[in-house]
């Protein structure tokens, strides 16, 4: 992925509106990575620097370039209010009018919902993994039981009988 990422950085090197960069999360960039919840490498994030989102698309140059062209541009936000439509402006104003404690509470509730969704997902995947392992074990047991019941020998006898019948003609 690194060569494709480097190529994308070169494509956007002279951009006035988009930044494509890399950060070493094991060295000087660790505080930035920690602040943005980066846990695995490589992690690609995009969006408003105060509200980065995780990129989940393809990692080849064509996929990265297509996504960057469509998404790495100034977007509606409190710092770019002139890019917002009336509905977005109203929502931003509603949030700006909230007192800090109320806004912090709403953010905490949203973060809690995200954490719960992730927890529910992991729990469900663990359950599926256990189900898969049981089904796999049951299948192997059934295959071994059938094989040990003499199925192979039965097939060999059938083939021998068929061959013997042809030899008699």
pLDDT value at residue 131: 96
pLDDT for res 45: 86
The predicted structure's pLDDT at residue 14: 83
H helix or E strand, kind and range, residue 54: strand 53-54
pLDDT value, residue 1:
82
Is 61 inside any structural domain?
Answer: yes
Q: How far apart are CA 103 and CA 41, in angstroms?
A: 32
Distance CA(121)–CA(115), nearest Å, equals: 10
**Judgement on whether residues 68 and 129 belong to the same structural domain of the protein:** no
The answer to whether residues 65 and 8 touch, using CB atoms and an 8 Å cutoff, is yes
Q: Which domain holds residue 162?
A: 116-167
The answer on 14 and 65 residing in a single domain is yes
Please report whether residue 124 resides in a domain: yes
pTM value? 0.55
Examine residue 30 and state whether it is found in any structural domain, yes or no.
yes
Answer yes or no: do 58 and 121 share one domain.
Answer: no
Q: Residue 163: CB partners within 8 Å, gap ≥ 6?
A: none
User: Looking at the structure, do residues 67 and 126 belong to the same domain, yes or no?
Assistant: no
Contact 57, 8 (CB under 8 A): no
Q: Which long-range contacts (CB under 8 A, 24 or more apart) does 43-52 make?
A: 46/71, 46/72, 47/71, 47/75, 48/75, 48/77, 48/79, 51/77
Q: What pLDDT is stored for residue 169 in this prediction?
A: 57
Total tally of structural domains belonging to the chain: 2
- For residue 138, being part of any structural domain is answered with yes
Q: Which residue, 41, 74, 107, sits at the end of a domain? A: 74
What is the predicted pLDDT for the residue at 168? 64
Output the tens digit of pLDDT for each of the chain's 169 residues. Answer: 888 888 888 888 888 777 888 888 888 888 888 888 888 888 888 887 777 888 899 998 999 999 888 888 888 889 889 999 999 999 999 999 999 999 999 999 999 999 999 999 999 999 999 999 999 999 999 999 999 999 989 999 999 999 887 766 5
Determine the pLDDT at residue 50.
76
The SS3 of residue 143 is: helix
CA angle 133, 134, 136 (to 5 degrees): 65
- Looking at residue 9, which CATH number applies to its domain? 3.40.30.10
Instruction: Tell me if 111 is assigned to some domain.
Output: no
Of 19, 17, 23, 18, which is closest to residue 36 (Cα–Cα)? 23
Residue pointed to by tokens 């529910």: 120
What pLDDT sits at residue 158? 94
* Residue 99 in domain: no
């Amino acid at each position: 992925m690194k060569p494709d990422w480097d190529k994308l950085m070169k494509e956007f090197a002279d951009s006035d509106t988009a930044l494509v960069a890399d950060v070493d999360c094991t060295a000087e960039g660790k505080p930035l990575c920690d602040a943005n919840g980066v846990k695995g490498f490589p992690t690609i994030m995009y969006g408003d620097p105060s509200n980065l989102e995780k990129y989940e698309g393809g990692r080849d140059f064509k996929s990265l370039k297509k996504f960057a062209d469509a998404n790495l541009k100034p977007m509606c936000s409190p710092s770019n209010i002139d890019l917002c439509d009336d509905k977005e402006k109203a929502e931003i104003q509603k949030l700006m009018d909230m007192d800090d404690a109320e806004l912090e509470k709403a953010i905490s509730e949203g973060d809690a919902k995200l954490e719960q969704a992730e927890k529910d997902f992991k729990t469900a995947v663990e359950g599926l993994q256990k189900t898969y392992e049981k089904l796999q074990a049951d299948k192997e047991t059934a295959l071994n039981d059938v094989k040990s019941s003499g199925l192979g020998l039965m097939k060999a006898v059938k083939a021998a009988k068929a061959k013997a019948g042809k030899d008699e003609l």
